[in-house]
Structure 1
Amino acid sequence: LPQKLNSYTVPCDDYVHVVEFSPFDSGSAALLAYGGNQYVVVGTCRFQEEDMEVEGVEFTTLRVFHHALRVDCLAWSPESRLDKLPQLIRFCTAAADRKVRLLTSDLQNQHEVKVMEGHTSYINHLVFEPTEGKQIASVSDDHTSLGSLMVAEKKGTIRFYDLVTQQAILSLDCGQSPLMSADWCLSNTIKVGAVTGSDWVIWDITRSSYPQEKRPAHVERAGNFRWSRVNENLFSTTGCPGKISSQLLVHHLGHPQPVMIGSATVGAGLSWHRSLPLCVIGGDRKLSFWMTEM
């Protein structure tokens, strides 16, 4: 399969450590946030595939949020809306000081940062409760999780917790480690995927605690796994950030080989558009977007 140059590029002022499309309907063009060393840029993205008047990609910056430290992970709130007044942007971040920051803006003159403490070690991931956004789950190396849903452990185990009782109700086993990234398929919730070592693995949680499918993906260790939001059989993986041989791969469960190989030195972050078969990765002063022909 030939390597494919990225479909679109948006230049940035700094190395991009985190990039996330909002997975929620914000009533407008897709919301996208990316984080650098001391800031988060929030904007909207439009692509020629959805708007005839756009040539390639059109990124419009809505606001730049100052952030005391480098952004390590970022999650969107379902409350973010651009089609109602007042407009609302809300997301949370985690950084090396082990604090979660909830950032809220009406894109006019109301801007608020709420700092939440409680973790004693590095925070690996954040997610909002997806219907109203009133709870945030955060998972840390200190092995505490605040209202967790699905928690993937580096040693190769994925556990699901009941939010009310906080008891583990299901666990999945990779059979190998390190497990670097896992994602729950929102368009078909019996599917869970992950990258472990240099392989991707996928479970059907109704059938077994061991993976249904497993295939080698990357020459060196894999870094990220994310499901597409428009096709339950489509997902992407990346190798470890910064390595020359590190690639973006797009896979389809009906195909034995990757359906697309993105030729770029992979930066940090990997996210899918909520309604297009398009994913984005961050890198050195740029965002790179790949459209998958499916």
Structure 2
Amino acid sequence: MQVVKSNQRVNTPDINITNNTFSMEDSGRGASYTVPCDDYVHVVEFSPFDSGSAALLAYGGNQYVVVGTCRFQEEDMEVEGVEFTTLRVFHHALRVDCLAWSPESRLDKLPQLIRFCTAAADRKVRLLTSDLQNQHEVKVMEGHTSYINHLVFEPTEGKQIASVSDDHTCRVWDLEGNETTTFRLRSPGVSVCWHPEDAFKLMVAEKKGTIRFYDLVTQQAILSLDCGQSPLMSADWCLSNTIKVGAVTGSDWVIWDITRSSYPQEKRPAHVERAGNFRWSRVNENLFSTTGCPGKISSQLLVHHLGHPQPVMIGSATVGAGLSWHRSLPLCVIGGDRKLSFWMTEM
């Protein structure tokens, strides 16, 4: 078990949110904390579920997944900066492109259980389960015929997984690897989200700019949203207020109130070039983050608040992959070249 401690805490002031002369060329602020890694990080995910006293975090490199716990000084005064403890390194045959946590993952009960799923360029979903002792299992799920863009577990019991792909399908799997439902899409699927309390409601975002909500009982679409432009690169369902849906499309972010209209209620430019990721904060329904596509000028991390006309924080990382929010802190993480970078939002 490896413990990495970093006391880097950059107290750079946040961007002045009342200044309407905001420019995308602003240098932004450095990460609040960083944790070194041995390889380029292609995906990083906090577990969104309560799994014990410390937050579970997993990140994927070229042929492995590192699973560990994170503790921050904001939640534990004995920690200086951030403390990352590696629990296990899982071998992975290919580069990890997507990763999702199971709600069954827990460290505060015996036997401990770690369960997550991944996707890679071979178009297969892998379900990895470990007791962090001697029992380790990998199940491979085959069915997609093109690149898998996103994965999610059913959040109440974790007995199902949904995945979306460039093959114009959303597929639902059980934990034995059986494909139980397939939704035919009209363009590549880019994001999939499960309702936090209703196991029969699934949201699927398509690259052409349409988001549909499906009923898994009737296997029919029950609601659709329209961006009005494309490509839609990433979408997220606000789990603390499920009438809100957000996405990035082109270089803009867009927000819907699904009770009011199928067209966005708000839309603003976010990145100079194409935007890449959209994620809602888990502790504030008005807070969300976007990133540009890795390697682009606009690949900064931006944190937005619906009450402010400009980003409330600009992260200066210019290359990054993955984007995830802590389950109980206003803190998000992105991966990059041999490091994880964490930003605490001072709200």
With normalisation by structure 1, the TM-score equals 0.96
Matched, 1:47 2:100: no
Mapped partners of 1:51, 1:180: distance in 2: 36
CA-CA distance at 1:148 after TM superposition:
7.7
Residues 184, 191 of structure 1: 8 Å contact kept = yes
Mapped partners of 1:235, 1:16: distance in 2: 22
CA-CA distance at 1:266 after TM superposition:
2.8
Mapped partners of 1:40, 1:281: distance in 2: 15
Mapped partners of 1:71, 1:52: distance in 2: 34
Partner of 2:128, secondary structure, is strand
Provide, for residues 57-89 of structure 1, a one-character-per-residue CA deviation record: whole Å limited to 9, x for no partner: 000000000000001100000000000000000
Residues 238, 266 of structure 1: 8 Å contact kept = no
Mapped partners of 1:245, 1:129: distance in 2: 33
Residues 273, 296 of structure 2: 8 Å contact kept = no
What's 1:131 paired with?
156
Mapped partners of 2:219, 2:319: distance in 1: 36
Residues 139, 148 of structure 1: 8 Å contact kept = no
CA-CA distance at 1:265 after TM superposition:
1.3
Q: Among the aligned pairs, what percent are the same residue?
A: 99
| Mapping 1:246-285, distance limit 5 Å | 246-285=299-338
Provide, for residues 4-24 of structure 1, a one-character-per-residue CA deviation record: whole Å limited to 9, x for no partner: xxx000000000000000000
Mapped partners of 2:297, 2:235: distance in 1: 23
Matched, 1:113 2:138: yes
CA-CA distance at 1:28 after TM superposition:
2.1
Residues 236, 247 of structure 2: 8 Å contact kept = yes
Mapped partners of 1:42, 1:8: distance in 2: 18
Larger radius of gyration: 2
Partner of 2:48, secondary structure, is coil
| Mapping 1:236-255, distance limit 5 Å | 236-255=289-308
Mapped partners of 1:191, 1:148: distance in 2: 15
What's 2:110 paired with?
85
Mapped partners of 1:266, 1:235: distance in 2: 19
Mapped partners of 1:76, 1:272: distance in 2: 13
Cα RMSD after superposing both structures:
0.9
With normalisation by structure 2, the TM-score equals 0.81
Mapped partners of 2:219, 2:61: distance in 1: 34
CA-CA distance at 1:165 after TM superposition:
1.6
Mapped partners of 1:98, 1:28: distance in 2: 35
Mapped partners of 2:298, 2:208: distance in 1: 25
| Mapping 1:16-35, distance limit 5 Å | 16-35=41-60
Of residues 257-266 and 226-235 in structure 1, the stretch that sits farther from structure 2 once superposed is: 257-266
Mapped partners of 2:251, 2:319: distance in 1: 15
CA-CA distance at 1:245 after TM superposition:
4.0
With over 3 angstroms needed to count, the CA separation of the structure-2 counterparts of 1:30 and 1:245, relative to structure 1, is same
With over 3 angstroms needed to count, the CA separation of the structure-2 counterparts of 1:148 and 1:180, relative to structure 1, is farther
May I ask how many residue pairs the two structures share in their alignment?
A: 285
CA-CA distance at 1:166 after TM superposition:
1.4
What's 1:68 paired with?
93
CA-CA distance at 1:244 after TM superposition:
4.1
